[in-house]
Amino acid sequence: MKKSIIQEIATTNFDLLIEQALESVGWKREDDFKVYYREDQFLGIPLGASIPTIFKIHGSANDESSMRVTLSQVASKTLSENRTRVLVHFLGTQGGDVLILGYSARDQFDINPALSRIAPKKRILYVQHEPEGEREVGPLPQAFQNFDGWAIRCNTDIVIDYLWRAFGIG
């Protein structure tokens, strides 16, 4: 984000690690980056924002009331409609590719049904973490069956290291 290579991040994690990383390099929330994590925010967000943006689909640890941690909360149709707006922005609009890291693709009650309703317009590179040696390229997981792209099974650290070098970061 600091080098403007990535402008937006969508995550299902509610921890604060991304925000803390940005703050550790001197960025200020609201001035240098925005974070959206509540249902009401998902309805009114300006997609394609001019400053780096983080979309926390399952809420944020800094606001316990925003977190979707129970089955009934995750499966709620009202919550899904608002989160779907973010997913459509990331996967159903023209331009670019989407890199997916650290996501199991096993959200059977909220994310996967939303993915199946999106008319895909972007190619996906899905990295499935495999800590030990084995590397393989294959089809995308079932959750992304409508999408064009590939699944790469490998140690995610290798992908990150490659990208850092390719973009002149590390």
Per-residue pLDDT of 25-79, as tens digits, reads 999 999 999 999 998 888 877 666 678 999 999 899 999 888 876 656 655 655 5
Q: What is the pLDDT of residue 69?
A: 63
Cβ neighbourhood burial of 155 (10 Å; 0-12, 13-18, 19+): middle
Q: Where are the beta strands (DSSP E) in 22-112?
A: 34-36, 53-56, 97-101
Identify the band that residue 17 occupies on the pLDDT scale cut at 50, 70 and 90.
very high
Let me know if residue 2 belongs to a domain: no
Let me know if residue 41 belongs to a domain: yes
Q: What is the pLDDT of residue 5?
A: 86
Q: Where are the beta strands (DSSP E) in the chain?
A: 8-11, 34-36, 53-56, 97-101, 123-129, 136-138, 148-154
The tokens for 115 are 């993915």
Reported as a single tens digit per residue, the pLDDT across 103-140 is 888 877 778 888 888 888 899 999 999 988 788 999 99
Cβ neighbourhood burial of 50 (10 Å; 0-12, 13-18, 19+): exposed
Let me know if residue 108 belongs to a domain: yes
Let me know if residue 3 belongs to a domain: no
Let me know if residue 26 belongs to a domain: yes
- Residue of 15 and 85 predicted with greater confidence: 15
Q: What is the pLDDT of residue 28?
A: 97
Let me know if residue 69 belongs to a domain: yes
Let me know if residue 15 belongs to a domain: yes
Q: What is the pLDDT of residue 73?
A: 61
Q: What is the pLDDT of residue 67?
A: 83
Q: How many domains does the chain have?
A: 1
Phi, psi of 124 (to 5 degrees): -115, 135
What range does the domain containing 20 cover?
Answer: 8-166
Q: Which residue(s) pair with 132 in the sheet?
A: none
Let me know if residue 1 belongs to a domain: no
Q: What is the pLDDT of residue 54?
A: 95
Q: What is the pLDDT of residue 68?
A: 77
